[in-house]
Amino acid sequence: MKRHCEQFAQAGFVTLAPDLFHGRVAANDDEAAKLMAAFDFQQAVGEIGAAVAFLRAHPRCNGRVAVAGFCLGGALTLAAARHVPGLDAAVPFYGLPRFPVDEFAHVTTPICGHYARVDPWANPAVAEEIQRTVRAGGGQMELYVYDAEHAFMRETDASRYEPKSAALAWRRTVEFLHRHVG
């Protein structure tokens, strides 16, 4: 996550990564799964809302704020698009929240989603259904599905990282963010 924050900062964005696990860090996927199982999703969305307010008031911020996240963070990003008022953009990477798709019918936050074609955690068909629902309600959602597996942006994991898809997703993300937050 620190690497992703550095990349966003290098692309010209004021960046903040709230510690939604309150100091707990997983050493592997099994530990991460245990942390996620005990995770308070609703509390985290509230903390993201507080982080958005903090950034919006930051002297280096232009007042426009986006949320981006990976896996569980991608699910939280979509939840923030639905539940955090005034959010200017959302960029979920291979994550889906566990609430009904019809809750996206009135989402006005522009979304740019990145999903893997092969993903047991975040089925791209569900992301496509979310996109249809957002668009049917008058919202904006760009959706990209890559010939990759879950966590294809994770540079530190050679078994999952897919450099071509990661580079394309990153380019699309930066372009989207510059359009929507400046």
71-92 tens-digit pLDDT = 999 999 999 999 999 999 999 9
Residue 36, pLDDT above cutoff 90: no
Range of the domain at 45: 2-181
Residue 49, pLDDT above cutoff 90: yes
**pLDDT band (50, 70, 90) for residue 33:** confident
The identity of residue 128, as a single letter, is E
pLDDT for 28 equals 86
**pLDDT band (50, 70, 90) for residue 32:** confident
- Distance between CA atoms of residues 131 and 134, nearest Å: 5
CATH no. for residue 7? 3.40.50.1820
Give all strands of the β-sheet with 111-118 in edge-to-edge order.
66-70, 89-93, 111-118, 141-149
How many domains does the chain contain in total?
Answer: 1
Give tens-digit pLDDT for 149-175. 999 999 988 999 999 999 999 999 999
Instruction: State the chain's mean pLDDT as an integer.
Output: 95
Q: Tokens 């996109």 label which residue? A: 131
Q: Which residues are paired to 146 by β-bridges?
A: 116
Judge whether 101 and 129 are in contact, CB under 8 Å: yes
Residue 97, pLDDT above cutoff 90: yes
